[in-house]
């Protein structure tokens, strides 16, 4: 069974159509059909193809590593180059027959992994209710009331955003369209460094400045002092920004 056939079977077992999977993964239906036909030519290379497979795996409840291993075995140019070099140097023999993977074994492995992922999600979800203290550099107490930034505040790729008159910054980061890794720093202290899963949101406050790192800027929505900021980058683009109050 090829990787494409396995994906089609897992999608149908999950009760999803191509269009439904397209909507939930933000991937074109045409590209998904090509992938299920075991055609990864239009994925943009091995890195993007693996990223698409991880995205799909979360929706159809399959272990992402299972899909990555199948992709590396069947399609990865890096793996094939290494294998060809070994064959040329008589380090390994060219396989005569590729063993097929049992569907039952993969299904059982997927159930086990799904249970583990669900448990991890519960633990992560519970941890999000923890109140994160913000350390203030000076003894001057920060204002307790939330402040809404004026419309003149703007976000640019220069690495710094300066909202109009504000005494305190309140930044909300929401994973609206996909997963990402974020790092939020205030006064050289990491308030949070880790994953932000699709649908989740985190709020941070600071008296003067907030520095952020985003691994997937295009899938995140940011709100600064109550005002939504334009996207800081594209999907899978890494962005570092600093928000400062006057």
Domain residue spans in the chain?
A: 3-126, 160-244
Please give the CATH number for the structural domain made up of 3-126. Answer: 1.10.260.40
| Per-residue pLDDT at 151 | 36
The average pLDDT across 99-127 equals: 75
The average pLDDT across 120-145 equals: 51
The answer to whether 55 touches 68, Cβ cutoff 8 Å, is no
Residues 6 or more apart in contact with residue 132 via CB below 8 angstroms: 191, 192, 204
| Per-residue pLDDT at 127 | 56
Q: Which residues of 47-63 are buried (b: 16+ CB within 10 A; e: fewer)?
A: eebbbbbebbbbbbebb
pLDDT value at 82 more than 80: no
| Per-residue pLDDT at 74 | 86
Q: Using 50, 70 and 90 to split pLDDT, how confident is the model at 129?
A: very low
Query: How are strands ordered across the β-sheet holding 180-186?
Result: 160-161, 239-244, 209-214, 180-186, 189-196
| Per-residue pLDDT at 27 | 92
pLDDT value at 80 more than 70: no
Give the residue with greater pLDDT, 196 vs 132. 196
| Per-residue pLDDT at 98 | 58
The helix/strand count (H/E) of the chain reads as 7, 9
pLDDT value at 245 more than 90: no
Q: Using 50, 70 and 90 to split pLDDT, how confident is the model at 209?
A: very high
The mean pLDDT of the chain is 78
The average pLDDT across 154-175 equals: 61
Mean pLDDT is lowest, of 5-9, 118-122, 176-180, for: 118-122
| Per-residue pLDDT at 125 | 63
The answer to whether 173 touches 182, Cβ cutoff 8 Å, is yes
42: left (phi over 0), alpha (psi -120 to 50) or beta: alpha
Q: Using 50, 70 and 90 to split pLDDT, how confident is the model at 228?
A: very high
Most confident of 4-13, 119-128, 134-143, 155-164: 4-13
How many Cβ atoms sit within 10 Å of the Cβ of residue 202? 17
The answer to whether 48 touches 59, Cβ cutoff 8 Å, is no
| Count, residues in the chain | 246
The average pLDDT across 24-46 equals: 91
Mean pLDDT is lowest, of 92-106, 188-202, 208-222, 230-244, for: 92-106
Residues 6 or more apart in contact with residue 146 via CB below 8 angstroms: 168, 170, 225, 226
Residues 6 or more apart in contact with residue 10 via CB below 8 angstroms: 60, 61, 62, 110
- Please tell me the distance from the alpha carbon of residue 177 to that of residue 26, in angstroms, as a whole number: 8
| Per-residue pLDDT at 79 | 53
The answer to whether 210 touches 171, Cβ cutoff 8 Å, is yes
- Please tell me the distance from the alpha carbon of residue 121 to that of residue 2, in angstroms, as a whole number: 30
Q: Using 50, 70 and 90 to split pLDDT, how confident is the model at 30?
A: very high
pLDDT value at 65 more than 60: yes
């Amino acid at each position: 069974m090829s990787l494409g056939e396995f994906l089609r079977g897992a999608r149908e077992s999950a009760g999803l159509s191509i269009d439904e999977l397209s909507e939930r993964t933000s991937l074109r239906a045409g590209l998904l059909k090509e992938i299920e036909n075991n055609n990864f030519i239009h994925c943009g290379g091995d890195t993007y193809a693996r990223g698409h497979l991880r995205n799909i795996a979360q929706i159809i409840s399959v272990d992402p590593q299972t899909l990555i291993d199948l992709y590396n075995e069947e399609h990865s140019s890096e793996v094939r180059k290494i294998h060809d070099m070994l064959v040329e140097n008589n380090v390994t023999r060219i396989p005569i027959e590729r063993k097929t993977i049992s569907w039952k074994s993969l299904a059982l492995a997927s159930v086990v992994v799904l249970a583990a992922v669900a448990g991890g999600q519960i633990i992560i979800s519970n941890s999000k209710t923890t109140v994160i203290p913000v350390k203030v550099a000076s003894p001057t107490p920060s204002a307790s009331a939330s402040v809404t930034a004026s419309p003149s505040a703007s976000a640019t790729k220069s690495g710094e955003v300066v909202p109009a008159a504000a005494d305190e910054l309140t930044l909300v980061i929401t994973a609206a369209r996909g997963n990402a890794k974020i790092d939020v720093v205030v006064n050289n202290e990491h308030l949070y460094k880790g994953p932000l899963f699709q649908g989740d949101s985190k709020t941070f406050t600071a008296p003067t400045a907030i520095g952020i790192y985003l691994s997937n800027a295009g899938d995140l929505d940011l709100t600064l002092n109550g005002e939504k900021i334009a996207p800081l980058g594209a999907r899978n683009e890494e962005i570092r920004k600093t928000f400062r109050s006057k």
